[in-house]
Amino acid sequence: MDLDRLKVSSFERVTRPIEPKDSGLITERLGLLPGHRVFESGVGSGFLTASMARIVYPEGEVVGIEIDTRKLEKARENLEQLGKVYEKSVMLKHGDAREYLEGLEDEFDAMVLDLPEPDRVLEVGLDALKSNGKVAVFCPFFEQVRTVWQVLEDRCTWLEAVELIERKLQVEKRGIRPGRTLGHTGFIVFGRV
C-alpha cells in the first residue's frame, strides 16, 4: 500500500484537502514522532489525518474533531483503508473544536487547525498542549494570519508564518522549463508554547 496513491485513488474529497506540500511541512515542523498525541480539527477528507497517523503509530493517536457529520463519515470511510494504522492511531469525533478543548490541559504534543475562525479555538485551546507542544494553523487568507498571530504571540516562544509555492517543471524534448500552474496555496502559522 502506498499512502499517496491511496489518497489520490480512494480517498473521496469532501473538501479541498491540504496539499501534500503543506501536509509534509506540517508533519516536519510539528516534529511528530511515534507515540505522540495530536489534536486535529477540522478533519475534512482525512488527508492530513492519514499523514499524521502513520507517524504517531502505533502507540500514539490523532484525535480528529469534525463538526460536519457528512464529512466525518466520509473521512472515516477514507481512513478505514489504512487498516491497523486507523484502528490503533485514529480517533474521530463529531463536535466543535472549541468546546472539545475547553478545560483540557497538558493533553497533546501537537495541534493542527484548518477551520474558520481558528483564533476563537486557540483562545481557549492552547492549554490542551503539553509544555513545548506545537501548533500549526492553516490560513487561506492573509487576514487570518493576522488574527492567529495576535492570539499566539503572547503564548508562544517561537512563531513563524510560511507559504510554500509549488512549481512543476515541464520536461520536454526541446528543454526544461518552469511549469505554468500552481497548486492551491495558503499560509501556515507555526508556534511552540
Identity of the residue, 93 or 150, whose beta carbon is nearer to a second copy in the bound complex: 150
Minimum CB separation from a second copy for residue 148, in Å? 10
Q: How far apart are CA 64 and CA 81, in angstroms?
A: 16
Which residues from 129-148 bind a second copy, rule CB under 8 A? 132, 134, 140-146
Q: Count CB atoms within 10 A of the CB of residue 121.
A: 27
Judged by DSSP in three states, 9 sits in: helix
Of 129, 177, 135, nearest to 153 by C-alpha is 135
Does residue 163 touch a second copy according to CB under 8 A?
A: yes
Estimate the crossing angle of helix 118-125 against helix 142-152, to 10 degrees. Answer: 10
Q: Of these, 11, 17, 25, 121, which contacts a second copy (CB under 8 A)? A: 25
Minimum CB separation from a second copy for residue 53, in Å? 9
Judged by DSSP in three states, 112 sits in: strand
Minimum CB separation from a second copy for residue 10, in Å? 12
Does residue 16 touch a second copy according to CB under 8 A?
A: no
Does residue 185 touch a second copy according to CB under 8 A?
A: yes
Residue 108 makes CB contacts below 8 A (sequence gap 6+) with 37, 38, 39, 63, 128, 129, 130, 133
List residues near a second copy by CB under 8 A.
1-7, 20-21, 23-34, 51, 54-55, 57-58, 82, 84-85, 109, 132, 134, 140-146, 149, 160-169, 171-172, 174-178, 180-187
